[in-house]
Amino acid sequence: MAVNSKKIPINNLLKGMYVSRLDRPWIETSYPIEGFYIQNDEDIRKLSSLCKYIYIDVDLTRLRVDPQKLQLNDNHTPQFTVESVKEKISEHIKAKSDGPSKTRIRRSSKLLYTERVAFEKEFKTANKLYQTISHTAEEVLQNVESSGQIDITKVNQIASDMVDSIIRNPDAFLWLSRLKAKDTHTHNRSIRATIWGIAFGRYLSLSKKELDELSIALLVSNIGKARLPRELLEKADKLNSVERSVYQKHISYSVKLLRQMGSFSATIVNTVASYCERFDGSGYPRKLLGNKIAFSAQIAGLVSYYEKITNHRDSNKSLDATRAMEHLYKLRDTKFQSELIEEFIQSIGIYPAGSLIELNSREIAVIIEQNAAHRLLPKVLILRDADKNPVNTFKILDLSGFDSTDKHCPKIINSIALGSYNIDSSEILDTIIKTDKSWLLKRLFS
């Protein structure tokens, strides 16, 4: 919410106002950003259908009006009647009792993990490790295809190394997940899903053993696809009913391979067997409902789905981070348990590390590190100036370090897709490495 904001009744909206907050969560609406200008009558009609009041940012509003005259008097806010409240409670209880049984999701109030290594140091380690993991994961799939065997020692080692890195600092691997997003090969999809899974599990304070098992399960979750015809994998989103039945056999192939090897725990096998199940019973292969799905499989299913919608084979269908969060929010208690989705959104934020954003200065930046206490105030690296030209001097801003009462305080106003303004993963990687050296020198001599 903007510092200098005013609460405005919906019938007092005017073109040029800057909406900084709604009377409902942003993610429940189709708006992609947390803040926008009212451009036309259609914007006003749309807001009127969604809200009873909104908040405007007085500093950003392009109008010479006295907001005090437009403010909502809380004494006139419509009140619920006793009957309406009883009716809503009754509907809520009925909806809860009719749905599938839920898993109790308990996030420890005492966090097991704190960031022990600075981002710029862990990024170098993670970058080298990612290359090793990618090579090993590709080798695993090739071996499955040719001999049906996996080098279990290698898989266990890279899974443990990933967990250790993400425990030290999750943003480094999340960065790499973004930068490698255009690679749609099956093994790299598994790696990216594994990164999201470990980061989420870390946030939930899962034990090191649980993180290791989740990591292994996600890394090997797609090995059964090596037994499917390649053309089936390439058209996985456009299958007819017969093809879909064949495609879904990848789960049974994976489970059979893991059991034949005999060195994977029951937890890992069960996670792989159930990660395509869905909370409402619409998944496969067993149509499991609610808490009948193992908790580790629920996590694996959610992060694999997130990987799919943010890195679609057809890049035009990929969702940026903010829109992906909105999409997930709409799936509460259908595809995934609502509490799980809400915790996942909290864990990576509306603007995850590696996301491209636009500031109120009109500069374009990439998010380097999350701020655990203030998710909307991360560290960002400026890539484009206000005219959208490449910057000559790299600049890192910690948005949490600014005086929020200053009208020139930088704020995020938009989330944009990778590729916008010709910003690709190679440029970002080169820039962060160059900036990293500069950043380290400044720290050494400061």
Residue 3 pLDDT more than 60? no
Residue-level pLDDT at 187: 65
Tokens of 106: 């308990």
- pLDDT score of 304 more than 70: yes
Q: What is the pLDDT of residues 274-298, one digit of tens each?
A: 999 999 999 999 999 999 999 999 9
Q: Domain check: are 423 and 391 in the same one?
A: yes
381 and 300, same structural domain? no
DSSP annotation of 287 reads -
Final residue in a domain of this structure, among 348, 371, 396: 348
Same domain, 152 and 185: yes
| 328 domain-assigned | yes
Do 319 and 416 meet the contact criterion of CB atoms below 8 Å apart?
no
Rg (CA), the chain: 24
Peptide bond into 285 cis (omega under 30): yes
Q: Which two tokens mark 177?
A: 């997940």
Residue 97 lies in a domain: no
Q: Give the integer Cα–Cα distance in Å for 185 and 277.
A: 23
Query: Are 332 and 418 part of one and the same domain?
Result: no
β-sheet with 412-416: strand ranges across: 390-398, 379-384, 364-369, 356-359, 412-416
Burial profile 202-233: b = 16 or more Cβ within 10 angstroms, e = fewer: bbbbbeeebbbbbbbbbbbbbbbbbbbeeeee
pLDDT tens-digit series, residues 190-205: 888 999 999 999 989 8
Checking if the pLDDT of 79 tops 60, the result is no
The answer to whether residue 160 is domain-embedded is: yes
Q: Which residues of 335-351 are buried (b: 16+ CB within 10 A; e: fewer)?
A: bbbbbbbebbbebbbbb
Beta-bridged to residue 390, according to DSSP, are: 384
Q: What is the pLDDT of residue 211?
A: 95
Alpha-carbon distance 249 to 105, whole Å?
30
pTM: 0.70
Query: The domain containing residue 221 runs over which residues?
Result: 119-348
Choice between 84 and 275, residue whose per-residue pLDDT is larger? 275
d(CA 185, CA 417): 21
pLDDT band at residue 247 under the 50/70/90 scheme: very high
Query: Domain tally for the chain?
Result: 3
More confident residue, 407 or 32: 407
* Residues 343 and 371 occupy one common structural domain: no
Is 399 inside any structural domain? yes
Residues 316 and 393 in one domain: no
How many other C-beta atoms lie within 10 A of the C-beta of residue 304?
Answer: 21
Per the model's pLDDT, the better-predicted residue between 214 and 434 turns out to be 214
Q: Are strands 356-359 and 412-416 parallel, antiparallel or unpaired?
A: antiparallel
Counting every residue written for the chain, the total comes to: 446
Alpha helices in 221-359 (DSSP H): 230-234, 241-247, 250-261, 266-274, 295-310, 321-329, 338-348
CA distance 267 to 255: 12
Please indicate whether residue 211 or residue 119 has the higher confidence score (pLDDT).
211
CA pair distance 380, 252, nearest whole angstrom: 44
Domain membership flag for residue 290:
yes
Average pLDDT over every residue of 37-61 = 82
Strand stretches in 115-164, DSSP E? none
Amino acid occupying residue 356: L
Tens of pLDDT, residues 202-222: 989 899 999 999 999 999 998
**335, 364: one domain:** no
Q: Confirm whether 190 is domain-assigned.
A: yes
From 348, 381, 415, give the residue that closes a domain: 348
In a domain, 179, yes or no: yes
pLDDT-based confidence at residue 66 (cuts at 50, 70, 90): low
Same domain, 322 and 395: no
> Of 21, 50, 76, which residue constitutes the final position of a domain?
76
Does 94 fall in a domain? no
Q: Are residues 313 and 431 located together in one domain of the fold?
A: no
pLDDT at 268 over 90: yes
Q: Are residues 207 and 136 in the same domain?
A: yes
Query: Cβ–Cβ contacts within 10 Å for residue 148, how many?
Result: 15
Structure token digits, residue 399 = 């948005």
Q: Report the CATH number that the domain containing residue 158 is assigned in CATH.
A: 1.10.3210.10
Same domain, residue pair 127 and 153: yes
Burial (0-12, 13-18, 19+ Cβ within 10 Å), 91: exposed
Give per-residue pLDDT as tens, 100-113.
888 887 665 556 77
Q: What is the predicted pLDDT for the residue at 402? A: 87
Domain check: are 340 and 386 in the same one? Answer: no
